[in-house]
Amino acid sequence: MRFLRLAEVRNRVGYGRATIYRLMTAGEFPLSYSLGARAVAWLESDIDAWIESRVNRQGASVSISLTTQGAER
């Protein structure tokens, strides 16, 4: 188990700080863990799973789109 600090999470997901916290508030991003008075981090496995879910969701919409295009011909 490994913790990722905000800079690493931002690097992995490509979102800025405000977007990450907005998505957390909306329940659409993994919650952070408090490491101390002024330090938070995310579990690497949570971030990896979130990225995987985004890739799978995108892949599903691409395959639906391709199927729909083929039906129009």
Instruction: Encode pLDDT of 14-46 as tens digits.
Output: 999 999 999 999 999 999 999 999 999 999 999
Query: Total structural domains in the chain?
Result: 1
CB count in 10 Å sphere of residue 19: 13
Which amino acid is located at 51 in the chain?
Answer: I
Question: Cβ neighbours of residue 50 under 8 Å, at least 6 residues apart?
Answer: 13, 29, 30
Structural domain range at position 51 = 3-72
Predicted TM-score of the model (pTM): 0.78
CA distances from 28 to 8, 33, 39, 66, 71 (A): 18, 16, 21, 27, 33
pLDDT tens for residues 61-72? 655 555 555 555
Contact between 3 and 33 under an 8 Å Cβ cutoff? The reply is yes
